[in-house]
Structure 1
């Protein structure tokens, strides 16, 4: 079994998009996993519950893209194009572990350090992913 060469500059991949120092070096990754428990009300007692399986699995990635230092605005454009397809993408961490199939639900952008001509020196970037496989 062949393995991917590990590089400190390779943080994660979403489909064929590689998060890294030359694309989007994210600063923060938050993952929220939940499990479903269905409940039935009972008279005079607490509700009865039954485990019903996995619930949502969502990841939020936050970054500050400053092309003079690290990252590129073109990389943000690639992720916007990926989101616009509505497709699901395999998410693989920097150690090669497959986290599952995710879709891009939202991308938030903010301009920081506005220069002459209205150009931003950097962009705050936040992306929300939601797991879609079992």
Structure 2
């Protein structure tokens, strides 16, 4: 199985792979805060106040009849809901690319699902997903 990316670690891990939940695109948006202060008879002044949010959006397609089955979307939701089940504090998830680049700790902030093709039994033959992640910054103090 060609793994494109993993989210999580240990017992709680989701693998995005070529033959299961393959993603077609990954976009990342990082912000830096430079608020403007208006000045009389001059251009606004800007001051760097720190790094802003860092978000990744992963879009992909699952073909349940091909490989991986219908449980893949459920597995993504369970990974996001893990803290709700065992009563423990929510924790961030490690994000690692298939080529070994560790992207750090992230939290799931959204999951969208679309089922554009439905089979005769009502089960989806195709599932499209959009997973939104936000970087988790640990306190340094």
For 2:87, the equivalent position in structure 1 comes to none
Select 1:74's aligned residue among 68, 71, 75.
71
Corresponding residue number in structure 2 for 1:129: 133
**Cα pair distance change 1:31/1:70, threshold 3 Å:** farther
State the 4+ residue runs in structure 1 displaced beyond 6 angstroms: none
Residue 72 to residue 33, structure 1, CA distance change in 2 (3 Å): farther
* 1:13 counterpart (6, 9, 14): 6
Count of residue pairs the alignment pairs up: 127
Give, in whole Å, the separation in 2 of the partners of 1:109 and 1:24.
Answer: 12
RMSD of the alignment, in Å? 1.7
Secondary structure class of the residue paired with 2:23: coil
The alignment status of 1:108 with 2:101, answered yes or no, reads no
Unaligned stretches of 5+ in structure 2? 84-89
TM-score (norm 1): 0.85
Instruction: List aligned pairs for 1:1-134, cutoff 5 A.
Output: 9-15=2-8, 16-84=13-81, 85=83, 86-133=90-137
What is the TM-score normalised by the length of structure 2? 0.81
- Residues 33-69 of structure 1: CA deviation (Å, up to 9, x unaligned): 1111122221111111111221111111111100233
